[in-house]
Amino acid sequence: MVGFPTETVHFSALYGPDLAQYAGDAASAGQIFPLRSAKILPRVLVIDDEGLLRWSLAETLGDAGYQVVEAQNGREARAAIADEEHPIDVMLVDLKLPDVDGLQLVREARRRCLTCPILIMTAYGSADTLDSAISAGAHGVVAKPFDLEDMLQMIRQVCPPSAH
């Protein structure tokens, strides 16, 4: 037999006579009680057309205390960048995407006044790539393939998980 609660559960309720038992005295019953603020996890936007790489980064970063937003192309990345209600704390951008150059996304993010650290991921790394990435507004370039633990260390350096 499956049971259902007969009373309504209010997860965000600040007021209610059912809180009287926690108030400490009858005069405090029914007062507004402050909620503890929820811990906000730093948001990492991972932009790469390789699904396995996005998944691997999402798993690694999620386990390390980051919230990961995934984008497989420029359109999805632009939507995440434009979401002002959920700001991005770090961006990992593939240099070569099917619909846009990764450096173009970096420039667009900077034009939107996004000040978060941005790391370019590429299998086509060179001194010119590094210069172009820095000129576009990126903080650095990471050569693919990379070790996930090394990437985690780089992200922790630019955005510690406990900083939020």
CATH code for position 55: 3.40.50.2300
Assigned domain for 144 exists: yes
- Coil, strand or helix at 4: coil
Q: Which two tokens stand for residue 53?
A: 């790489």
Residue-wise pLDDT for 55-69, tens only, equals: 999 999 999 999 999
Number of domains in the chain: 1
CA distance 54 to 48: 6
pLDDT at residue 153 tops 60: yes
Mean pLDDT in residue range 5-32: 43
Assigned domain for 26 exists: no
Assigned domain for 97 exists: yes
Assigned domain for 133 exists: yes
Please state, rounded to an integer, the average pLDDT across all residues of the chain: 82
Residue 92 belongs to domain spanning: 51-156
Residue-wise pLDDT for 26-56, tens only, equals: 554 555 544 444 568 999 999 999 999 999 9
Assigned domain for 5 exists: no
